[in-house]
Structure 1
Amino acid sequence: MSAILREQFSKYTDLTDGEFEYVLSHFTYRKLKKHQFLLQEDEWALNDYFLLSGCVKSYYTDVSGKMHILLFAVQDWWITDYEAYYDQKKAKVNIDCVEDTEVLCLTAENREKLCQELHQVEHFFRKKTNRRNVALQNRILSLLSSTAKERYEAFVREYPSLVQRLPKHILAAYLGVTRETLSRLYSSK
C-alpha cells in the first residue's frame, strides 16, 4: 500500500528509501466502510488524508439542507477541510466514504515537522498545493460559466471511471444539477 504514496512522491521529488520510510512513519493508517465519515462538520480537522483505495466526497450542507459537493477523492488523491486543517479550526465540510476506503492520515504537526526536516517533502507539498489551487479555480470557473451539459461532458472526459462509480444523485449534486437533469444528460450521450 505504501507503494502508492511512494509513487506519488516520486512524481515531484526524489527520496531515498530511508527518507521515504521516515516520511511514512509519520502517517497512520485507517480503513473505513462505505458511508463512514473521515471528517464531520464541527470536528477538528486533525489530518490530511491520502487515499490508498476507495472514494470519498467532501460536501457542505446549507441551511435549507441542500448538499453541495465540493470535490471527490479517489486512490492517489489527498483530501481534508484545508482551512480547518491549516488554521487548526473546526471543519466546515463533511467528508464521507462513497465506497469502502483506506487512507493514510497525516497530522498538521507531522506535516510541518517533515517539511522542516526534509526540503523534498516541503517541495512535494508546495507542488501538490499549487495543483489543488488550479483545480479548484477551474472548478469554480466551470460552475460560473459552463452549462450543465458542458460540466457533465468535462467530468466524463476528465474522470471517466468515476462516472460509473458514483451514485447518480451524488454526481448530480457535484455538477450542480437535479437528478432529472443528469438523467437527461445521460440519455443524450
Structure 2
Amino acid sequence: MEPKNILKAHLAKTITLTDDQFDYFYSHFKPHSFKKGQTIISAGDKVDSEYFVLDGCLKTFYVNDDQKMFILQFAMSTWWASDYNALYGGVDATVNLDCIADAEVLCLAGDDRERLCNEISALQYFFRWRSNKGYVASQKRLLSFMNNNAKHRYEELLSMYPLLYNTVPKHLIAAYLGVSRETLSRLY
C-alpha cells in the first residue's frame, strides 16, 4: 500500500478529514528509509520529530550506567515512536530509537504537529486520543511488571502482539520483559 494510504487508513480509524485536510496534513511528513541497526535517535540528541512506521520495526530503549538495555517500546507498522520527553520537554534525549529491521517511516516535526492541531481540530482530537491510548498502555505495562511474573508478562505480550515473536529477536523481547535471555528461553 502507498504510504499516503497507510496513514490515511490509520487516521480514518479515529477521525474523519476531508481530502483537502488530509492532503495538507500529509504534506508535512517527510519519508525516510532506515536500515536494520541504524540509529534514529541517540541519548543526548535534540529531538524535533516523531516517526510513523509504515513498514519494518523500531525499538525505543534506554541503556543504564551498567550498560544494561531496557526496551520501552517496539514500533511496527502504523505505530508511532520518538523520545516524547525530549520532543515535548525541550530536553536532550534520554532514550534511543533504532531499527530492528529495515524500516520505512514518515517523519513529522513537533512544530508542524502543533500547528496542524491548532488548524484542524480533528487532528488535535486524534493526537490526544493517541497520547491517551499510549498512556493507558504504559500504565497497564507498569502494573503488569508490579503484579505478574515473567511467564505471565511474556504470554500477555505475545497474545497482544503475536507478530513480535517472529519479528523481534528473543534477546530484545527479554529486555522488554526485564529478564535475561536465559530466563526467556525457559518460558517458551
Relative to the length of structure 1, the TM-score reads 0.97
- How many Å separate the matches in 1 of 2:44 and 2:4? 31
- How many Å separate the matches in 1 of 2:158 and 2:123? 33
Shift of 1:144: 1.4
- How many Å separate the matches in 2 of 1:90 and 1:29? 24
Give RMSD over aligned pairs. Answer: 0.7
**Post-superposition, which runs of at least 4 consecutive aligned residues in structure 1 deviate over 6 A?**
none
State yes or no: 1:143 paired with 2:128.
no
Shift of 1:111: 0.4
AA of the residue aligned to 1:159? Y
- How many Å separate the matches in 1 of 2:4 and 2:147? 40
Question: 1:101-120 counterparts in 2 under 5 A?
Answer: 101-120=103-122
Map of 1:46 onto structure 2: 48
Map of 1:184 onto structure 2: 186
Match of 2:166 among 164, 170, 187: 164
AA of the residue aligned to 2:12? S
Shift of 1:119: 0.4
Q: Percent identity?
A: 45
Shift of 1:98: 0.1
Map of 1:21 onto structure 2: 23
Structure 2 gap segments, 5+ residues each = none
Relative to the length of structure 2, the TM-score reads 0.97
Q: Deviations over 1:37-72 (max 9, x none)?
A: 111100011111100000011000000000011110
AA of the residue aligned to 2:24? Y
Q: Secondary structure at the match of 2:61?
A: strand
Structure 1 gap segments, 5+ residues each = none
AA of the residue aligned to 1:91? A
